[in-house]
């Protein structure tokens, strides 16, 4: 596709349920990033992938959060036993490669708005 896509756009779930959020990066982008943005706050980095590997998972807020990427393409962020504090917009971004410099700017998707009741 032309840009990063995410699904669903909105998700309402009950406390304690598991949710899966999907990200489809720009074709050919090897790097993929997940961020979280709580209402009225800045973006919080969660995890990044280089290819299908996630070298650093330290940004994930708890062990209820996990992510995977397959085929150097689609990524899924899974939140188990959701809590109300998990309510936020979850944003995915991709770039040609990991790191800074020309050509490695990150392109963001529209986000998934998660509401935990």
Partner 1 sequence: DAKTTQPTSMDCAEGRAANLPCNHSTISGNEYVYWYRQIHSQGPQYIIHGLKNNETNEMASLIITEDRKSSTLILPHATLRDTAVYYCIVRGKYTSYGKLTFGQGTILTVHP
13, 43, 66, 74: which one binds partner 1 (CB under 8 A): 43
In whole angstroms, give the CA distance from residue 104 to residue 98. 7
* In the complex, least distance from residue 78 CB atom to partner 1, rounded to whole angstroms: 20
For 49, residues 6+ apart whose C-beta sits below 8 A from its C-beta are: 31, 32, 33, 67, 69, 75
Selected range binding partner 1 among 10-18, 52-60, 65-73, 76-84, rule: CB under 8 A? 52-60
Give 3-state DSSP helix, strand, coil % of the chain, rounded to 5: 5, 45, 50
23, 26, 31, 114: which one binds partner 1 (CB under 8 A): 31
Residues forming contacts to partner 1 in the complex (CB under 8 A) are 4, 31, 33, 35, 42-43, 45, 48, 50, 55-56, 59, 91, 93, 95, 97-102, 104-111
């Amino acid at each position: 596709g032309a840009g990063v896509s995410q699904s669903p756009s909105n998700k309402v779930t009950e406390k304690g349920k598991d949710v899966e959020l999907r990200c489809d990066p720009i074709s050919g982008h090897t790097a993929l990033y997940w961020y979280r943005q709580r209402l009225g706050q800045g973006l919080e980095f969660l995890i990044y992938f280089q290819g299908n590997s996630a070298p650093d998972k330290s940004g994930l807020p708890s062990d209820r959060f996990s992510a995977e990427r397959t085929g150097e393409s689609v990524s899924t962020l899974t939140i188990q036993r959701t809590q109300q504090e998990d309510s936020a917009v979850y944003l995915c971004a991709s770039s040609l490669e990991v790191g800074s410099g020309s050509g490695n700017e990150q392109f963001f998707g529209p986000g998934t708005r998660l509401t935990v009741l």
